[in-house]
């Protein structure tokens, strides 16, 4: 091991995934994610149960990440962790763990903004994965956020537009709940949509500012539509599940694409990236690939494992801060509300 070898541990615990990752000079050596199945039973994340599950998972997850990377604690140069935004009880588990580990090893601590990390996942060293050049636009779509961000440098980001109510992941999950599908329903809507007709049913798109989003009206429209259909056909969902899922997905993805088009027109920036859990969606990936041909955009789509919450994105963000020697004091605290531009 030479002095140029930088090994960092990343820890993510902002919501319902406990994750740890080891990064070596920008390359991911391990990325362990423990999902919390407990929430499926309740149809959404229960904060109290999430923090308890993080407590149970964090030691084995960190242990596994080091083991898979083939290194020991003493080889680490710094500990990076998510300081926010997220659920306070969840963030506190990762924050306290990271602080204690850094203190006991006598190495620096690096706090990472979870929303910036989703975007910075694009800078993980990967073969055959091109990195977006600055400036680029990033559509950050997750269970908690929906934003169009202008990225001028690793840590220089500006929000151009965002949701005024529900996040797009919530729109997927709440629609799925109406259909009686388990939480999180986004991936299931994606799966069933593959077999359905996206034009079978129409839902109106909301009217908001050109780069802003609104999804709460769509959820209500879907609920009323289903209730109306069930009055004449109680088996409506069962008999039309694939078409309903395809139509919901088509509406949501069309809204996302419209807004990105507006942002490209407004800024003149044609480098478009996506990030966050919903960027795993197959339809948004397909439409962006098509836009490369049809509109001459360059699109950057993260590897599947770096879309939903993971510690690899925390580790790469920490690495970029490490290169600037941007370390945090042990007095650093978890912040439930933190914007991408802070």
Return residues touching ligand KG4 (CB under 6 A). 15, 142-144, 169, 172-173, 184, 186-187, 190, 276-278, 280-281, 308-309
CB of 135 to ligand KG4, least distance (A): 23
281: partner contacted, choices Zn ion, ligand KG4, none (Cβ within 5-8 A by kind): ligand KG4
Q: How many CA atoms lie within 13 A of 296 on its CB side?
A: 3
Of 32-40, 167-175, 252-260, 307-315, the window that binds Zn ion (rule: CB under 5 A) is 307-315
Residue closer to ligand KG4, measured from CB, 71 or 171: 171
Question: Residue with structure tokens 């407590």?
Answer: 55
Instruction: Tell me the C-alpha distance between 157 and 120, whole Å.
Output: 11
Q: Is 214 left (phi over 0), alpha (psi -120 to 50) or beta?
A: beta
The partner in contact with residue 32, picked from Zn ion, ligand KG4, none with C-beta cut-offs of 5 to 8 angstroms by kind, is none
Residue whose pair of structure tokens reads 């002095």 in the numeric block: 3
Closer to ligand KG4 by Cβ: residue 105 or 159: 159
For ligand KG4, the nearest residue by Cβ is: 277
Partner touching 12 among Zn ion, ligand KG4, none, CB below 5 to 8 Å by kind: none
Distance of alpha carbon 208 from alpha carbon 268, whole angstroms: 21
For Zn ion, the binding residues in 127-146 under the rule CB under 5 A are: 142
How many beta carbons lie within 10 A of that of residue 279, not counting itself? 25
Kind of pairing between the strands at 27-35 and 17-24: antiparallel
Peptide linkage before 135 cis (omega within 30 of 0):
yes
Q: How far lies 170's CA from each of 17, 60, 175, 195, in Å?
A: 17, 30, 8, 22
User: Residue for token digits 């030691």?
Assistant: 59
Residue 186 interface partner, choices ligand KG4, Zn ion, none, CB cut-off 5-8 Å depending on type: ligand KG4
Q: Tell me whether residue 39 or residue 99 sits nearer to ligand KG4 (CB atom).
A: 39
Nearer to Zn ion, 211 or 280 (CB): 280
Q: Which is nearer to Zn ion, 142 or 317 (CB)?
A: 142
Chain positions contacting Zn ion, by CB under 5 A = 142, 309
């Amino acid at each position: 091991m030479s002095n140029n070898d930088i090994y960092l541990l990343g820890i993510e615990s902002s919501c319902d995934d406990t994750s740890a990752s080891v990064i070596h000079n920008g390359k991911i050596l391990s990325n362990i994610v423990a999902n919390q199945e407990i929430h499926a039973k309740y149809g959404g994340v229960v904060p109290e149960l999430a923090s308890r599950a993080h407590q149970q998972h964090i030691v084995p997850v960190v242990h596994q990440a080091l083991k898979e990377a083939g290194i020991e604690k003493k080889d680490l140069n710094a500990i990076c962790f998510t300081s926010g935004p997220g659920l306070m009880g969840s963030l506190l588990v990762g924050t306290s763990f990271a602080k204690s580990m850094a203190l006991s090893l006598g190495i620096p601590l690096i706090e990472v903004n979870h929303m910036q990390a989703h975007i910075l996942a694009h800078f993980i060293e990967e073969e055959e994965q091109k990195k977006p050049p600055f400036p680029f636009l990033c559509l950050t779509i997750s269970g908690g956020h929906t934003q169009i961000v202008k990225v001028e440098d690793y840590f220089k980001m500006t929000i151009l537009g965002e949701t005024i109510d529900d996040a797009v992941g919530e729109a997927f999950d709440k629609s799925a709940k109406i259909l009686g599908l388990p939480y999180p329903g986004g991936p299931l809507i994606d799966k069933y949509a593959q077999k359905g007709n996206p034009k079978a049913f129409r839902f109106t798109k909301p009217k908001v500012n050109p780069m802003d989003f609104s999804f709460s009206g769509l959820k209500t429209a879907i609920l009323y539509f289903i209730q109306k259909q069930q009055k004449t056909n109680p088996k409506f969902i069962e008999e039309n599940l694939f078409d309903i899922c395809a139509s919901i997905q088509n509406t949501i993805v069309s809204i996302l694409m419209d807004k990105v088009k507006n942002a490209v027109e407004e800024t003149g920036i044609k480098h478009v990236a996506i990030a966050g859990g919903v960027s795993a969606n197959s339809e948004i990936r397909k439409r962006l690939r098509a836009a490369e041909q049809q509109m001459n955009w360059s699109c950057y789509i993260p590897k599947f494992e770096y879309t939903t919450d993971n510690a690899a994105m925390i580790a790469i963000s920490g690495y970029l801060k490490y290169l600037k020697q941007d370390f945090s004091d042990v007095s650093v605290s978890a912040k439930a509300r933190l914007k991408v531009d802070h």
